[in-house]
Structure formats: structure tokens, C-alpha cells
Structure 1
Amino acid sequence: MHFYPFSDDRGAVDIPVHVIVHEHLRTAALCLGVAYGSRDDPATAGGLAHMLEHVLMSSPRRGTFGVAEQVEWLGGEANAQTGLETMLFTAHVQEQYLNEVLGSLTQAVLRPRWDKAYVEQERGAVQQELAAMQADPSETVQDAFLARLFGAHPLGRPVGGTLPEVSSMSMEQIASVHETVFLPAPMVLCVVAPRPPEGLSAGERSLRPRPDNAHLPEPLAPRERTGVVWPEEFAWVCVGGRAVPAGHPGAAAFQVLSTLLGDSPSSLLYQRLRRDGSLAYMFQSWYRGYAEAGAWRTMIGLEPENGPAAVDVVLGALEELAGAGPKPEQLGAAVRKTTTSLLQESEGPLDLAKLTSSRVIAARGPWSLSGETAALNEVTVDDVRRAAALVLEAPQIEVRPAVAE
């Protein structure tokens, strides 16, 4: 085990590091994961985490380049993403630039240079990003679904916030949250490269504990199918419910449930939505686990006249799985498909770095690819039955574009 000792005149931070050495590689990938996300935004400043992400990657450290542009000039790629509970800062470069980029990325994230001109520049970029997302029903339906699923709980807030919130937050407010909430959060660095980077220290470092700000969402009431109002144009619908939190022993069953009701030709929904009923062409299902609870959903793009029948198909398939469970051959195919997807996600250096960082942050401790694949292969028919039954305890339905009810 290693850690990355970062220190300057403002103090020291030891970041646990997972080094994955593949000697055949000619590139190196880095991912700095931080257990901080939109759920940590101030009550009146939704979207601050997303705004912070933009500023950290774009504001210049020295001269005129931010870290994202610096990495691009070196021929690589750099990016960042903000979720409900996690931020990931990534870079992928030729291996000879590994040490340089590691230093630049950690400096940019931990010790940014605050400049109002660059904050305003990124505010404009974020406003344009939000405007584009709010014009896309496939994006707004997901925010609406999570808002219904989690209500006033922080998990129900949109990651990007709203245009008024982004417009009103000040540089001083962003800098204060970075200092008081972001920097104390648990962090982990994953490096996938042909050799370890320089500057690491040998020794064990655990993730810092996350502040105990968790509280359970309020109980949900099921939303009636007949309460859905369909628009006149092409629509997106989310159907799903709450699931187990991250790290729960039953999480693997929800991953398998997503495959059983996914867009693969072997899934129940493919057979009923596309092949038998010609109700929809675009659909997918997925599970996300968070600190207090999880979310499982299917998202479908369809013509509105197909909407009621498609919702009935999804809920009917869930009821079938909650009752008798999948047939053994269906379960076996779904487990193999889910495992293959996980293994494919781990085969690229950058994907593996992101996967490892995000999983360690979510688990708040050790994680291994072999452990997750073993958990998937241990999922039983009864595990899937319980997962489907939990979703059906209070199923929720959201449609966009929305029309007045």
C-alpha cells in the first residue's frame, strides 16, 4: 500500500493510493476520487459542487493554463465529473508525463488559485451546460425521478443545481466550501500505469472518515399508474423505486436485476418492449447505491400512445420477478452479462482508475474487482426476488416532457 504525501505552507495531506501496474502499457491513467458531491451543497446553493469541479480543472495554476488544458497540450486528456456523493478528477497521458501530471492534478484540486475572471468564465460555461440539459427530456426526467424518489432529502437535488442558484453563488462562497467541506472529505488516488509514479511513500493510510450527515429519506407512497399524464410528443419515462444503499450485501442483486430488465436481447424487457410489443426502441435499466439508500430505474424513450402499455410491461416484469423470480437459465445469462460488463469496464487504464476510485469511495474502504465479480456470481433467485420486491414497495413513475396534471 502507498500514499501520496502532499504538503505546502498550508499543511499536509496524505492521500491513500492504489497503484495498479500493467507493464505492457504505454500510457498512464490517474483518478483522484473525493467523497464530496452535490448532496453536500449548501441549502441555497445547489450546483456548487459542479461549479467547483469546473473551476478546479480550468483555473490556471501557473502562467495561463489550467490543468485540463495542460494535459491536452501534453497530448493526453483530462476531465472531471460530479455526482451526488462523489467527484472524480482524471487524467490519461503518455507514461513519461505521469509524474508531471500527478503533481499538477493534485495541486489544482487541493490548492487552487482563486481568480474571479476564471470563475465568471466557468460560470458561463456551466450556465450553458445547464440550459442544454434542461432542454433535453432524457436528462430532466432523471432529475424529476430522483426528486420524487428522495423528496427533500439531499439525494433528491439535481447535481447541477438551477440557473438562479448558479448565477447567485459567489467566488468567496465556492472557496469557503472548498476549504471547509471539500478538503476534509475522504480522498483516494488510483494510478494505472506501467510503473508506479515517483513521490509515493510506502505505508498504510486509511480513508478519512466522512462527516456523519446521513439521514434516511422519508417513506414513499406508490404513484398510481393512472396518475401519469402523457405529453403529445415523444417522451421519456422513468419507472423504478428505492433500492439498498452502497455497500449493502444485496447490491449485487440489483445489478443483476438491471441486466434482467436491460436492453440486452436476452432480457425480459427487450423481449416484451421491443420484440413482442414494438413499444420502444431505446431503454436501459440501472442501479446506483448511496449512503442511506439506493435507486433502481428503467428509462424508456417512446411515443406517448405506447406509454401506459410500456409502464405496465415494466411493472409486470418486476412483479413476475418478485413472485417466482427469474428462471435459472435467465439468472445465469444475466449474471454472466453483468460480470462481462464489469470486466470490460476494467480493461482500459482510465476506466479501471475511475472504477477503482469510485468503488473505494462508495465502499468507504477496500474494494477489489475479484470481490465484486464473486458477489455477482453468488446472486441467487431469491436475491433477485427480494430486489424486485423492494422496488415494488413504492414504485415511482416520471415522464418528460411534463404537462400540467
Structure 2
Amino acid sequence: MARTVLPGGLRVVTEHVPGARSAAVGLWVDVGSRDEQGFDPSSRGAAHFLEHLLFKGTARRSARRIAEELDAVGGDLNAFTTKEQTCFYAHVLDTDVALAVDVVCDVVLNGVMAAEDVELERDVVLSEIAGRDEDPEDLLADDFDDLLLGEHPLAGPVVGSEESVTEMSRDVIARFHAAHYVPSRSVLAVAGNVTHASVLEAVVEAFGDRLTGGIDDGWVRPDTAVVVPTPAQRLAVRDEDTEQAHVMLGVPSLRRGDPRWEAQLVLSTVLGGGTSSRLFQEIRESRGLAYSVYSAATGYSDLGVLNVYVGCAPDRLGTAAGVLRTQLAELARHGVTDDELVRSRGQLRGEYVLGLEDTPSRMSWLGRRELEGARLPLDLTEALARVDAVTSADVADLAADLFDTPVTAAVVGPYADADDLPDELREVAG
């Protein structure tokens, strides 16, 4: 890996991937939906809206030309927004890296954000929100985050709400872009058949006179762990006429970069991270209670969330909730077995290695690591070593800490209110 910090604070990181005939280019900006809350009361959903809008054209390229230039070389161009990051990326042949850098940077830096395009894309985003509202799992995830995180900036859907997107003005979006899309909060990551020198040349050309000045714009995201207050209410129900009952429950957990992060990954893997996990075996294989059951550990800069999802027939929700309660209690009291530890570490090693087999995934590794800080693994070798260093005692201690706290649960299904839920579920979140 090679790294250069250019004037203005833009970080350029590259990795030459031997044998690759392609390259992935990503321009990462350290901004996401969590940054809207302190910016403007009317900006909820602005980060995601802006991601859409920037593809509508620049001073040099129309939206059609942007699409045609990448299509003409067989490349892909896309973007995504999370709660803490936004990434615009292209995947091209190694002969077209300079073009990809130019197009990606042009889109991000020089979007016109014309008033008529704002209205056109507003309808697109509203359609996306409507699609989310028709997906019980998406609704459930948002309800769970809102319940668990309360007033924390990480609560709330990345896409915003129908009300916020409908009312958002072009001025709010443009100011959000000007405030956050600056070199000191950006990373240009490239992985593939490239040289660092050639990428730097293309980046300097694309950024032009923006690469001036100091590297401190005065913005700092919280980088210390926060304690999430226990919600006044730990059970939320959304009454929807669905064939299945969807439930997500979980607890506040470790922030990204915590020294025990790998132990948390092992814990989540043992709990519901694969077909050999406790929840999959108990809920699906042994009892046939649900088709879909899994756990996930998500880390942010200042906190984390460990949650479990189950989707099952409404008349089986009570039995499934009882299994969940039993398994959480067992992990809190007894930790994991030696066999589970070995198996989960092996699963995580495989996920790391297999997840970095192509140039887009390696580009994502570079960009995320550069944004997320030095406490994260420097490379794949270090990441694997950290997983291998996790012990049964590490996991047991963490399980006792996490599952000794009240559990929060959200439900989407045919239930008018919490009184309609089975006793087993109300006891889990009681």
C-alpha cells in the first residue's frame, strides 16, 4: 500500500494488485446521515439526496455523458451513503484509470445541482423511501435504531423521511455539499493494476486548485466511546398486515476500533453468524421456527450495536423469543465452547480473505481504513492475527458485559400494540 497526503489534506491511498486487469477507484467523504442533525434541522436525508443529485450533471458533463463515458469502456459507476460515510466509485479496466478518476472527481466536486434536477431526483428518492416502507425488514431496522439510540445522531434512516425530503430545499443540499465535501475530509482510494505515481498525477489534475491551504477545517467527529442511555421504552411495535412477524432485538455494544472488537465479531458469529451458529441451529434446523435468523455487529466511531433478527410465523414468535432469551442467557453465563471458538475464528478468517478477492473490495478496505482510523488493522495479515488472538475468556467476558444490560426489541407484524405480543417476547425486553 502507498499513501500520500496532498495539500488541503486530501489522502490518496493505492494498492497494486498483482495479476489484476482492472482497477477500482473510490472517492470517500467522511460524512453521512449522522452529520445532518447538527447541520440544519431541515437536512435529514441530505447526505443521501446529495449522493443522488451529484450524478445529474457537472459543468463539464451532462448526466447522459457521465453514463456514456463509463459505459463506453465497460465500466461501472455508482455510489452509496451510510450513517458515517459517502463513497462514489468506479470499476474499470486498468487502461481507463485516469478516466475513472476524472469522472468520479468531477461528479463529486463539480455537481451543478440544478433546481430542475433537484425536483426530478426528489421524486426518485421519495420512490426509494416508499420502497423501504414496503419492506418490513427495512422498517424494522429503522424502528430498532430509533428505539435503542434515542436522540443520538446515528438514529434515523439514512434516506430521511417522506416529509424531510419533500420539504428539503436546493439551498440546504448545496450548503451541505459545500460544508462537508472538502479535501481534508476526503480519501481517494484505488486498488488494481495501478502505480501510485500515475494515480497521484490523475488526482492532482482532477482536483486542481482545490489542493491548497491547510488540512484542518475545524471539524472533528466524536472518537470516544459513549454510553447509550437505557431507553424509557424497550419494546416498539409497528402494526403491519404482514404474513410474518419480524423482530429485532439487541444491545449497545463496542464502537469501531475498540480493542475487543474482534472478540465481538466472534461472539456475533457464534450467536447467529452462519449456518452452524447457535440461533440458526436452534431456531431453524432443530425447531423449524423461522427461515431467516441472524445476528450482526455494527461499529461506529463512538458506539456500536449488536442485534439479532428473526422472521417467523406470528404464532411461532413466542417460541422463537424464548429460544433467543435462553441463548443470550447461556452466552452471558457460560461464554462459548472451544469448538465454537475455533469454528468462528475460521469463519471470520475465510470472510476476510474471500471478501478481498477483487479490486472493488480491496479499494473499499483502503478507503474505509483510512477514514476509520489507525486503530483498525493495517492490512489483511494484521486483521487475521487479531482474530486468531481472541480467546474463549475474551468472548465470555464480553458476553457477560453486553447481555447483562437490558435488551431492546422492535417488532413489525400483525400486532395492534405490545399487549398483543407473546409473553416470551415481552419478557425478553422487560
Q: TM-score, normalised by structure 1?
A: 0.89
Please report how far the alpha carbon of residue 341 of structure 1 lies from its aligned counterpart in structure 2 after TM superposition: 0.8
Partner of 1:188 in structure 2? 187
- CA 256–364 in structure 1, closer or farther in 2 if over 3 Å, else same: same
Partner of 1:274 in structure 2? 284
Please report how far the alpha carbon of residue 244 of structure 1 lies from its aligned counterpart in structure 2 after TM superposition: 0.8
The answer to whether residue 330 in structure 2 is matched with residue 328 in structure 1 is no
- CA 378–223 in structure 1, closer or farther in 2 if over 3 Å, else same: farther
Partner of 1:30 in structure 2? 25
Corresponding residue SS for 2:310:
strand
Alignment of 1:141-152 (within 5 A): 141-152=140-151
Please report how far the alpha carbon of residue 212 of structure 1 lies from its aligned counterpart in structure 2 after TM superposition: 3.5
CA displacement, residues 52-72 of structure 1 (integer Å, 9 cap, x when unaligned)? 111123324424236455323
- Which amino acid counterpart does residue 24 of structure 2 have in structure 1? A
Q: How many residues align?
A: 395
- Which amino acid counterpart does residue 154 of structure 2 have in structure 1? L
Alignment of 1:158-237 (within 5 A): 158-183=157-182, 186-196=185-195, 198-200=198-200, 211-212=219-220, 214=222, 216=226, 218-221=228-231, 233-237=243-247
Partner of 2:78 in structure 1? 79
Please report how far the alpha carbon of residue 229 of structure 1 lies from its aligned counterpart in structure 2 after TM superposition: 8.3
CA contact (8 A) 2:191 2:359 kept: yes
The answer to whether residue 101 in structure 2 is matched with residue 106 in structure 1 is no
Alignment of 1:4-403 (within 5 A): 5=6, 13-41=8-36, 42-65=40-63, 67=66, 70-183=69-182, 186-196=185-195, 198-200=198-200, 211-212=219-220, 214=222, 216=226, 218-221=228-231, 233-363=243-373, 367-392=378-403, 393-401=405-413, 403=415
Alignment identity in percent? Answer: 28
Bigger mean CA offset, 97-106 vs 306-315: 306-315
CA distance in 2, matches of 1:207, 1:246: 24
- CA 63–111 in structure 1, closer or farther in 2 if over 3 Å, else same: closer
CA distance in 2, matches of 1:398, 1:64: 44
Please report how far the alpha carbon of residue 320 of structure 1 lies from its aligned counterpart in structure 2 after TM superposition: 1.1
CA contact (8 A) 2:143 2:410 kept: yes
CA displacement, residues 326-374 of structure 1 (integer Å, 9 cap, x when unaligned)? 1001111001101111111111111121132123322267732222221
Q: RMSD of the TM alignment (CA)?
A: 2.6
Bigger mean CA offset, 314-323 vs 168-177: 314-323
Corresponding residue SS for 2:290:
coil
- Which amino acid counterpart does residue 134 of structure 1 have in structure 2? D
- CA 224–171 in structure 1, closer or farther in 2 if over 3 Å, else same: closer
CA contact (8 A) 1:223 1:395 kept: no
CA displacement, residues 56-112 of structure 1 (integer Å, 9 cap, x when unaligned)? 233244242364553234311111111111112111011111011102211221232
CA contact (8 A) 1:242 1:390 kept: no
CA contact (8 A) 2:10 2:183 kept: no
- Which amino acid counterpart does residue 29 of structure 2 have in structure 1? V
Please report how far the alpha carbon of residue 224 of structure 1 lies from its aligned counterpart in structure 2 after TM superposition: 6.5
CA contact (8 A) 1:15 1:188 kept: yes
CA contact (8 A) 2:78 2:88 kept: yes
CA contact (8 A) 2:280 2:294 kept: no
Structure 1 unaligned regions, length at least 5 = 6-11
CA contact (8 A) 2:150 2:231 kept: no
- CA 381–58 in structure 1, closer or farther in 2 if over 3 Å, else same: farther
Partner of 1:9 in structure 2? none
CA distance in 2, matches of 1:353, 1:62: 26
CA distance in 1, matches of 2:69, 2:314: 47
Bigger mean CA offset, 299-308 vs 388-397: 388-397
CA contact (8 A) 1:222 1:395 kept: no
- Which amino acid counterpart does residue 187 of structure 1 have in structure 2? S
CA distance in 2, matches of 1:365, 1:272: 36
Bigger mean CA offset, 215-224 vs 233-242: 215-224
CA contact (8 A) 2:9 2:216 kept: no
CA distance in 1, matches of 2:17, 2:331: 41
CA contact (8 A) 2:268 2:295 kept: yes
CA distance in 2, matches of 1:383, 1:207: 39
- CA 172–231 in structure 1, closer or farther in 2 if over 3 Å, else same: closer
CA distance in 2, matches of 1:71, 1:370: 34
Structure 2 unaligned regions, length at least 5 = 204-213, 418-430
CA distance in 1, matches of 2:374, 2:77: 25
CA contact (8 A) 2:43 2:173 kept: no
Corresponding residue SS for 2:10:
strand
Corresponding residue SS for 1:189:
strand
